[in-house]
Structure 1
Amino acid sequence: MRGKRSKQYRKLMHAYALTFHFRAPYQVLLSSTIIRDAARFKMQLGSMLSNTLHGEIKPMITQCCIRHLYNAVPEPGHEADKERWIEVAKSAERRRCGHHELETPLSEEECIRSVVDAKGSGTNKHRYVVATQEREVRAAMREVAGVPLIYINRSVMVLEPMAERSAEVREAEEKGKVRAGLKARRGAEAGGVKRKAEEEEGEEGEDEGAQEEAAAPKKKKARGPKGPNPLSVKKPKKENQEKSAGKKVEEERSVLRKAAKQDPQAADKAVKAEVAVGEGGASADGASGKRKRRRKPKESGDAASALKAEVGDEE
């Protein structure tokens, strides 16, 4: 098979698959005439059908067609061909048409039409592919939508183009898809217009708010030296100051305790010395004309009294 023809057949079967839902393995109804011509041209019918349809096949034959093969008379000198016909027919799956009870089989046209379109609705319900050499059968099958037709022409297997009835069904289905797409698009556009109007209203509201803000008088910032960054300024450590004062008091107390142990009168001397120093400072200040009064530190006085009490207890 040439490449151009093979490409055409592949596209054609793809169209049947999209519109009429054909799928592999394809069910091929064989007539007695195509079996006889394939044997005459020495063609391998199964492989040729598979190459033409571009997929696996499931060959089938009706009971009437088999009876026609048995009743056929071969040409003189070709009696062995009849055995080949019957072998090919037996290798195919038997399709029960219900005409086996008749004394004489129905014509292939009537039998195949009753199998393909049993109810006369003009549709190929079971998705059969018809392979026949009889023109009457092909003409009858063109009236049924979605029936691929195959025949042999001078030892070449041909797949017919899509019939008018099938093409009309395909075109109607494509138009329905286009209409559905247009409806969906219109609905989306309507929703988009509505959203756009809402967005424009929101933008207008924002513009009005911006205009009102622009019309309002702006507050002038006070100019001058800026203060230090509050994050870079160290905070006063109150707890550390209190701790340092407490430590100093404890150190003074420890010094006085040691001195009181060595000399019991040390505490009294220290107190008197502080008093004398305070009086001397006051007289000096008075002579200079400036009078200052120094207060005794409460902590030291408390410490001295505490030391006196401790010394008395020890004695």
Structure 2
Amino acid sequence: MRQKRAKAYRKLMHLYSMSFGFRQPYQVLVDSEMCKVATAHKLDLVKQLGSVLQGEVKPMITQCCIHELYLQGKEQQPAVDLAKLFERRKCNHREPIPGDDCLIGVVGDKNKHRYVIATQSQPLRVKLRSIPATPLIHINRSVMVLEPPSDATLKAKEATEEKALHAPPSDIALVGTSNPEDHQPKKQKGPKGPNPLSVKRKKPLSDEPTPKQKSKGKEVSTVSGMKTAAGAKRKRSEPADESGEDNIRIQHIVETDAGESDAVKKRRKRRRKAKTEGDRSDEVTLV
């Protein structure tokens, strides 16, 4: 198929889809004459229908049309074999009737089931042109042709557009939409928060030491040659007395934890004893 013709057929099927709700796979009703012509020209009917309608197709045939092929004898056996591959459409006719009358009864006045009619019968095509939203296909010299929209189809399209244009806001509906999920409102995207990996961690509000500080162990500080444990509080000595003594008394209040070992206590006791003995020796020398 040429590109120009394929583009025209694509626009035409887009019209039927948007204005009348046609959806893929398109339901194609085939009559007995179309089967005979396709076998005579050795055409792949399903493939040709898909290329003309520009989408997936589901060929169907009524019981009355296939009964016409049975009546024509063994000469039309290839056409019968082709018709058996299609889906059987129930027409609810107890006794077989001519194929043209059967297709008109199946399509109805408005083609509410959205059938595409593939027929070689000229009288049938003339009758179906008066029914709006009815695409027609026929074979012309081994070339499958999709007919342009009829006047009834164009009038029905204008009527639906005019009705949608002047409808009240509460009753406005998109024309030819059968799936409500296609027109759901999109979610509005708001401002996003910062990347949690690039944000600094918050400082703890309590004065308790962090796990990192606890892992460091006890801090050691020296004051006049004496070491104090972590968590010890230090008080400044009182000002010097009026007698002019230069002794600076430093009182260390050590808050020992309950879990300290006995060895640490003994070591601290020895340091205090050594300091007191040093102070006494200084007083003796001064005297």
Please say whether Structure 1 and Structure 2 have the same fold, judged by a TM-score greater than 0.5. Answer: yes
State whether structure 2 residue 45 is matched by structure 1 residue 58: no
Deviation at 1:41, TM superposition (A): 1.3
Q: Which residue of 1 aligns with 2:242?
A: 253
2: CA distance between counterparts of 1:18 and 1:181? 21
C-alpha distance 257-10 of structure 1, shift in aligned 2 (>3 A): closer
RMSD: 2.7
Read off the aligned partner of 2:78 and give its amino acid letter: R
1:116 and 2:107 matched: yes
* Equivalent in the alignment of 2:4: 4
The match for 2:139 is: 152
Deviation at 1:109, TM superposition (A): 2.1
1:130 aligns with 2:112: no
Where do residues 48-197 of structure 1 align in structure 2 (5 Å cutoff)? 48-72=48-72, 79=75, 82-99=76-93, 101-102=94-95, 105-117=96-108, 122-179=109-166
**Aligned partners of 1:129, 1:28: CA distance in 2, in Å?**
5
Max Rg structure: 1
* Residue correspondence of structure 1 range 181-220 to structure 2 within 5 A: none
Runs of 4+ in 1 over 4 A off after TM superposition: 180-183
How many matched pairs? 183
CA contact (8 A) 2:240 2:246 kept: no
State the Cα distance separating 1:116 from its structure 2 match: 1.3
Where does the alignment leave 5 or more consecutive residues of structure 1 unmatched? 184-246, 259-315
Would the aligned equivalents of 1:108 and 1:137 in 2 still touch at CA under 8 Å? Answer: no
Aligned 8 A contact 1:129 1:148 in 2: yes
Q: Once the 2 structures are TM-superposed, how far is the Cα of residue 140 of structure 1 from its aligned partner?
A: 1.7
TM-score normalised per structure 1: 0.53
SS at the partner of 2:242? helix
CA distance in 2, matches of 1:46, 1:257: 117
Q: Distance in 2 between matches of 1:256 and 1:89?
A: 128
In structure 1, how many angstroms separate the alpha carbons of the residues matched to 2:244 and 2:99?
Answer: 135
The whole-number CA distance in structure 2 between the counterparts of 1:254 and 1:125 is 121
CA contact (8 A) 2:70 2:80 kept: yes
Query: For each residue in 1:184-214, what CA deviation from the matched residue of structure 2 results, as whole angstroms up to 9, or x when unmatched?
Result: xxxxxxxxxxxxxxxxxxxxxxxxxxxxxxx
Deviation at 1:72, TM superposition (A): 2.2
Does structure 2 conserve the Cα–Cα contact (< 8 Å) formed by 1:109 and 1:140?
A: no
- Equivalent-residue separation in structure 2 for 1:257 and 1:161 (angstroms): 120
Structure with greater strand percent = 2
CA shift for structure 1 position 180 = 5.2
CA distance in 2 between counterparts of 1:253 and 1:11 reads 113
Structure 1 71/252 Cα, relative in aligned 2: closer, same or farther at 3 Å?
same
Query: For 1:151 and 1:115, how far apart are their aligned partners in 2?
Result: 19
Whole-Å separation in 2 of the counterparts to 1:256 and 1:146: 119
Q: CA-to-partner distance for each residue in 1:96-128, whole Å, 9 max, x for gaps? A: 1122x32xx3122210111111xxxx2111111
Q: Can you list the C-alpha shifts for 1:159-203, whole angstroms capped at 9, x where unaligned?
A: 0111111111111222334445999xxxxxxxxxxxxxxxxxxxx
Q: Could you tell me how far apart the structure 1 residues matched to 2:127 and 2:79 are?
A: 25
Identify if the C-alpha distance between structure 1 residues 254 and 89 changes in structure 2 by more than 3 Å, giving closer, same or farther.
farther
* Deviation by residue 1:47-66 (Cα, 9 ceiling, x = unmatched): 10111001111111001101
More helix by share: 1
TM-score using structure 2 length: 0.58
What are the within-5 Å matches in structure 2 for residues 231-246 of structure 1? none
Q: Distance in 1 between matches of 2:41 and 2:56?
A: 22
Unaligned residue ranges in structure 2 (runs of 5+) = 171-235, 248-287
Query: 1:102-158, CA deviations, whole angstroms, 9 ceiling, x for partnerless residues?
Result: 2xx3122210111111xxxx2111111100001111122122221110000111100
1:6/1:252 CA distance change after superposition, 3 Å: same
Q: Distance in 2 between matches of 1:257 and 1:145?
A: 120
Instruction: Provide the rounded CA distance (Å) in 2 between the counterparts of 1:256 and 1:6.
Output: 115
**CA gap 1:181/1:156 in 2 versus in 1, 3 angstroms:** farther
Q: What's the % identity of the aligned pairs?
A: 44
